[in-house]
């Protein structure tokens, strides 16, 4: 395996979705390639940081929207 092939397989590798043989080739490549080891670590960091993004907006429905929904639910219930 070379690095161009490795970079296309990272997500499948992280998902554990690679066929056993490909997974073996990936780990073998990683064991000898510092560049791809760094790349994989940065890929993991990226995913991890996406999961820890602080909220930028107020993530709640506006009070009027919530009231509308409750009213609609009540109407449906009748």
Partner 1 sequence: MVTDDELVTSLLAGDEACFAQVVDAWSPGMLRVARAFVATQESAAEVVQDAWLAVIEGIDRFESRSSLKTWVYRILVNTAKRRGTRESKVLPWSSVVPDSGPTVDPADFQGQGEPYPGHWRAFPQPWPTPEQHTLTRETAAHLRAAVDRLPERQRVVLVLRDVEGYEAEEVCSILEITPANQRVLLHRARTSVRQELAGYFESTEVTR
| Contact (CB, 8 A) for 44 and 15 | no
Binding status of residue 17 toward partner 1 by CB under 8 A: yes
| Contact (CB, 8 A) for 36 and 63 | no
Chain-centroid distance, C-alpha 62:
29
Q: Which of 19, 20, 21, 59 binds partner 1 (CB under 8 A)?
A: 59
* Residue 21 or 64 having the CB closest to partner 1: 64
Binding status of residue 19 toward partner 1 by CB under 8 A: no
DSSP tag of 55: P
Residue 26 CB coordination number (10 Å) = 20
Where do contacts with partner 1 occur on this chain (CB under 8 A)?
2-5, 7-8, 10-12, 15, 17, 33-36, 38-39, 42-43, 45-54, 56-57, 59-62, 65-66, 68-70, 72-74, 76-78
């Amino acid at each position: 395996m070379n690095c161009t092939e490795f970079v296309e397989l990272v997500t499948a590798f992280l998902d554990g979705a690679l066929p056993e043989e490909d997974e073996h080739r990936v780990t073998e490549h990683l064991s000898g390639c510092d560049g791809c080891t760094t790349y994989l670590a940065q890929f993991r960091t990226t995913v991890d940081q996406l999961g820890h993004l602080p909220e930028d907006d107020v993530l709640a429905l506006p009070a009027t929207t919530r009231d509308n929904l409750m009213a609609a639910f009540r109407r449906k219930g009748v």
